[in-house]
Amino acid sequence: MKIRYFGHSAFMLTNDLGHRVLIDPFLDDNPLSPVKSEEIDAEYIIATHAHADHLGDSFKIAKRCDSTIIGVAELAWYVESKGYKAHAMQIGGAYNFPFGRVKLTPALHGSQTPEGQYAGLAAGALVWMDGKCVYHAGDTGLSYDMKLVGEMNEVDLFIVPIGDNYTMGIEDALKAVEFVNPKKVIPMHFNTWPIIDADPELFAQKVREMGKECLTLKPGDELQI
């Protein structure tokens, strides 16, 4: 599986069969992203919640690529009300898609659409592709539920927010890494704006002190896992 980072919480997962899955494609208004939404194709888009920095350019991409947007039911309803394809799930539920399996996980956060409508619970996502398990935590504060995710799943890659203010900061993200016990860690949701400034190298150093691999991707970087 290949994973490409676009800054903030936006990632593209590509499996060995060439299936492309975007997570939280905030690109055109993302000051860190090296690409614009018009340069990106995806069959499926996982939207962890409806905030503009996560739902992002999902509709523009879905319009051009006929993508299906995966999210909690209230978010899926909003997507369909705008004329796009959605796959509704709820936290704790998993489904086998053509590209692999997705299970939505709890996130301590809100969710409302750009028009201000309630959009259900915010989520994270476990994604299994090519025999690997990626856990994108979404926007969330630290919760003990993450320990359960770690106990029940062998997580190869844990993508965790570190920017503080709206999500976990570094100290809490380190506790989350301990709970999830993944093989590798990638920090996200930092340095997009001054209010979420954080030092990914400081975080990475502390993760390495825990005996784990931490990769601080630059926006645009692609990694094979």
Chain residues that interact with Ni ion, rule: CB under 5 A: 51, 139
Contact between 172 and Mn ion (CB under 5 A)? no
Contact between 139 and Mn ion (CB under 5 A)? yes
C-beta of 100 vs 169, nearer to Mn ion: 169
Chain residues 48-77 in contact with Mn ion, contact rule CB under 5 A:
53
Distance (Å, rounded) from C-alpha 194 to C-alpha 135?
26
User: What is the nearest approach in angstroms of Mn ion to the Cβ of residue 166?
Assistant: 5
User: What is the nearest approach in angstroms of Mn ion to the Cβ of residue 191?
Assistant: 13
C-beta of 127 vs 168, nearer to Mn ion: 168
Shortest-Cβ-distance residue relative to Ni ion: 51
Q: What angle do CA 160, 161, 163 make, to 5 degrees?
A: 150
Residue 15 near residue 100, CB atoms below 8 Å: yes
Residue 134 near residue 24, CB atoms below 8 Å: no
Query: What's the number of CA atoms in the CB half-sphere (13 Å) around residue 113?
Result: 17
C-beta of 74 vs 139, nearer to Ni ion: 139
**How does strand 222-224 pair with strand 94-97?**
unpaired
Query: What's the number of CA atoms in the CB half-sphere (13 Å) around residue 100?
Result: 24
User: What is the nearest approach in angstroms of Mn ion to the Cβ of residue 53?
Assistant: 4
Residues forming the site for Mn ion (CB under 5 A): 53, 139
